[in-house]
Amino acid sequence: MIKQLPDLADGQVTVAGWVETIRDQKKVQFVILRDESGSVQLVRPRPEGDDEISSTISELTLGSFVRVSGELKHDERVKLGGIEVKIETFEVVGKALPENPIAEDSSIDKRLDWRFLDLRRPELNLVFRVQTTFEHALRTWWVEHDFVEIHTPKLMASPSESRAELFQVPYFETTAYLAQSPQHFKQMAQASGFGKIFEIGPAFRADPSFTARHATEFTSVDAEISWVDSHEDVMRMHEELLVAGFTAVKEKHGDEIKALFDIDIEVPSTPFPRIPLAEAKQIVADRGYVVPRADDDMDPEGERQISAYVKETYGSDFVFLTDYATSIRPFYHRRHDDDAGLTNSYDLIYNGTEISTGAQREHRVEVLEAQARDKGLDTEELATYLDFFRYGVPSHGGFGMGLGRVLMLMLHLPSIRETTYLFRGPNRLLP
């Protein structure tokens, strides 16, 4: 790997990668070669009358994949890493077409059309290395705290929340639905005695939104725990988990992120601020913005405003907005004991955008049935789910979090299209 070259002594090496730059001069030829770990300068004095290697280099197209053997030399005069490789053998493994269909200033839609080329950019390569480190850190924290990893089905016989955002799929003689979340199966694990579980997997929403933070298929990060007294227990688990993830990213990639994105990764301090939604909306109003939504939720501008307030007041990039109205929460959220109009739930806002919803769940079956009917749901369709609660289940709660959004906000990128390997939206099913 190119990143290993600086630690090697001068001598024979073999490297392979994509041709990034060619300087084809009369007396010497230079090629900048890049693999997934970095870039290195290749050099070859040009012989009189040219030969096969010099002709091959002259005819190279940018983006071609080549394999080169030669002599590694440390030379502080070389601007690119203080090393170069003097070419002795040169093999074109895969020649690129002469015209690249995208450029750095191409639109995001154009770049997504040619995603495999777009992802060759070092900064996008880093995005998915950061994702790997972040996910590994979450899993490590969960496993060290005795969580069980589960893999839930994505084909469902009934909706997990509402029919409004469901994809229907023909399924033999009946109809199936793509899972909006693993919610029902996370709760089944509590009835099964698993205690603490997690899953990182795909989720699907038939939401015709074209915003920077929505997708029809996304990666959902989910956890559920038994024996909670309230949503406070879920929030505490959630924030500790995120601290572990951000710490790992900072330790492993902090310097690279600074170099490529000019961002200093900050590990959040706990506890994150907690603000009831009604209070948050009043804070935002006092700042000069009145949330216009009639559904008792916070809108995107409200999220940005409350985040600005929290950053100014508490120095935190994270804030839990708590105590959402029953009218805008799913039927399975537990309601306040002293106010049935509010739920034991929260949204987690990070850098001005919601990344997660969490709650204490309702575990009393007769209450669940009544709340489902209140939402206009057919309890017969929910029969299998409701059965989980007929044979003894502990109090429990959990959250679902969008992985792409977290990465987008962590790296200050404009859209989850940049942090999703292959984005799916209302008008995109390719590549």
Question: Which of these ranges, 4-13, 163-172, 304-313, has the smallest mean pLDDT?
Answer: 163-172
Question: Does 296 score more than 70 pLDDT?
Answer: yes
Q: Which residues constitute the domain of residue 290? A: 115-410
**Strands 174-178 and 28-35, how do they pair?**
unpaired
CA 66 – CA 68 distance, rounded (Å): 7
| 112 marked ligand binding residue | no
Task: Indicate if the pLDDT at residue 413 is higher than 90.
Answer: yes
Domain termination residue (choose one: 63, 94, 125): 94
Q: Give dist(CA 408, CA 416) in Å, integer.
A: 6
Integer Cα distance of 20 and 15 in angstroms? 14
Structure tokens at 368: 């669940």
CATH number for the domain harbouring residue 28: 2.40.50.140
pLDDT surpassing 80 at residue 158: no
**Annotation-wise, does 402 bind a ligand?**
yes
In a domain, 418, yes or no: no
Residue 106 lies in a domain: no
390 annotated binding-site participant: no
Residue 357, marked binder: yes
**What is the average per-residue pLDDT within 84-107?**
96
Residue 3 neighbours by CB distance under 10 Å: 13
Residue 404 is labelled as binding a ligand: yes
DSSP 267: P
Question: Do 135 and 30 fall within a single domain?
Answer: no
Average the pLDDT over 233-246 and give the result: 98
Q: Is 403 annotated as a binding residue?
A: yes
Domains contained in the chain, number: 2
Largest CA distance in the chain: 91
Report, as an integer, the average pLDDT of 185-205.
97
- The reply to whether 9 and 138 lie within a common domain is no
Known binding residue 120? Answer is no
Confidence of residue 157 (pLDDT cuts 50, 70, 90): confident
Contact 303, 212 (CB under 8 A): no
**pLDDT greater than 70 at residue 161:** no
Q: Give dist(CA 281, CA 151) in Å, integer.
A: 38
**405 marked ligand binding residue:** yes
Q: Residue 189: which of 369, 371, 394, 390 has the closest Cα?
A: 394
Q: Which CATH number do you get for residue 328?
A: 3.30.930.10
For residue 81, say whether it is annotated as part of any ligand binding site.
no
pLDDT at 160 over 70: no
pLDDT of residue 193: 97
| Per-residue confidence (pLDDT) for residue 336, from 0 to 100 | 97
Query: Percent of the chain having pLDDT more than 90?
Result: 93
